Amino acid sequence: MRMPRGLVDESALALLEGYAWLPGLRARSDTGVAHTRLLGQRAVGLCGVDAARFFYDEDHVQRRSAIPIPLQKTLFGRGAVHTLDGRDHRDRKAFFLSVLTTGAVEGIAESVGETWDRRAAGWRPDQELVLFDEAARAITRGVCRAVGIPLAEAEADDVARDLIAMVDGFATPGPRHWRARRARSRREAWMSDLISAVRNGRLEVTPDSALDAAARHRDADGRELATEVAAVELLNIIRPTAAVSWFVTHAAHALHRWPQHRERLAAGEEEFAESFAHEVRRFYPFAPFIGGLAVRDLTWRGEPVPQGAMVLLDLWGHDHDPELWDEPYAFRPDRFVGRDIGPFELVPQGAGDPATGHRCPGEPTAVAILAGLAGRLARMDYEVPEQDLTISLRRIPARPKSGFVFRPRGRREPDVTARTSRPATAPAEPAPRPRSESSPAPR
């Protein structure tokens, strides 16, 4: 006999169905609110602008004890900002915002762009390269340089691999998960050594760099952060920056699928490049949902949300909600041109105010890197050989299966000429749709 939904633990189904799981569950309820069980706990899934406001109210939902251990041991690290509330959270968050100023963000994006150009100049014509890997290598080198982390060239590819592994393994119980844990152990140890070296004067550090700030930051009570926690937070700057490789790969997929956007990107129209970056972040899947715990017995639109229940905010569903987006499954960067984006409108990296809530403090960094590298891709002359560009919505985080293989054509030059090129191979795969093989399409 099939148990009614809401009583059955759906953890295995969530892993299996991926991005379509929560939108599908919501679509099958009359109210658009999902009642289920996850990791043995009662869970309520919400979506939409008002739901995001409800979720980000600290009087409703808190994060302490909400982040499952497997996620802490892969993606975030123990004691990370993601797991804090109230004064502790705001204080720790201030560290991120103080090191990710507008100038610092520009510095990171420039450093990544320069690294990309240097590496691209060395690519041989007709060499086959995997864009996802190349993006990770350039971003890792560029961000480490910009935030003051010394990185020997001989180590750089290993570091890039580890940063990617930590993100790649957060939503699976299989070998990718264990690879992520090992990568985190290695890189936390490395970051701890750096923090200790700065603190005891063995390493001279660029003043006010993120490394310097992490070593010096004091908590709300004026105490120096424990070395391991400072290490976790320093890693929480470079690890998610490397994750922008997913967006860059999606950008290449979009340019291949809809080459009509190349010209404006290649021409260096700044507003268009930023809009393109927003549309990539909206259209392609990354974080499916975020969660916290209900602080007390609550009601959401008449539906009970009991104290201690997990509250899930459906990010992927929100970014494809037809109530919010005209033709949500059309890739249209123009939808963001000349438009201010409200704090609860576009939510691939969370919603609300990054200073007071848990919204990602790295959004401007992600957008700047993505816009810069997407422009470079649009100006680059390359072929796209036959490959499997399918994006499975069962795999979290999703990406084109091949990682986007490309073959540079002709002589590599620094990124100064605005050239328009078109992919030689017509896109063969369908646009990613919110359907994971057998899963129902979300609303």
Residues of each annotated binding site for heme: 360
- Please, which of residues 75-114 interact with ligand HEM by CB under 6 A? 81-82, 93, 96, 100
Residue 332 CB, shortest distance to ligand HEM, in Å, is 20
243 binds ligand HEM (CB under 6 A): yes
Stretch that binds ligand HEM, among 177-185, 211-219, 233-241, 417-425 (CB under 6 A): 233-241
364 binds ligand HEM (CB under 6 A): no
Do the Cβ atoms of 319 and 282 come closer than 8 Å? Answer: yes
User: Within 10 A of 219 (CB to CB), how many other CB atoms are there?
Assistant: 16
* C-alpha triplet 26, 302, 354: angle, nearest 5°: 70
| β pairing state of 61-62 and 289-294 | antiparallel
From the annotation, which residues make up the binding site? 360
| β pairing state of 34-38 and 310-314 | unpaired
Residue count, binding to ligand HEM (CB under 6 A): 26
| E strands in 232-361 | 289-294, 298-300, 303-305, 310-314
Q: Which of 25, 131, 229, 360 binds ligand HEM (CB under 6 A)?
A: 360
Measured from the CB atom, the residue of 93 and 145 that comes closer to ligand HEM is 93
Q: Which of 18, 77, 288, 350 binds ligand HEM (CB under 6 A)?
A: 350
132 binds ligand HEM (CB under 6 A): no
How far is it, in rounded angstroms, from Cα 287 to Cα 361?
15
170 binds ligand HEM (CB under 6 A): no
Measured from the CB atom, the residue of 243 and 310 that comes closer to ligand HEM is 243
In the beta sheet, which residues pair with residue 313? 46, 290
Q: Which of 36, 74, 192, 241 binds ligand HEM (CB under 6 A)?
A: 241
Residue 100 CB, shortest distance to ligand HEM, in Å, is 6
How far is it, in rounded angstroms, from Cα 196 to Cα 293?
35
289 binds ligand HEM (CB under 6 A): no
Which one, of 368, 373, 376, lies nearest residue 421 by Cα? 376
In the beta sheet, which residues pair with residue 224? 218
Both tokens of 9, joined, read: 């633990």
Q: Which amino acid is at 318?
A: H
Footprint of ligand HEM (CB under 6 A): 81-82, 93, 96, 100, 236-237, 240-241, 243-244, 246-247, 286-287, 290, 348-350, 358-362, 365-366
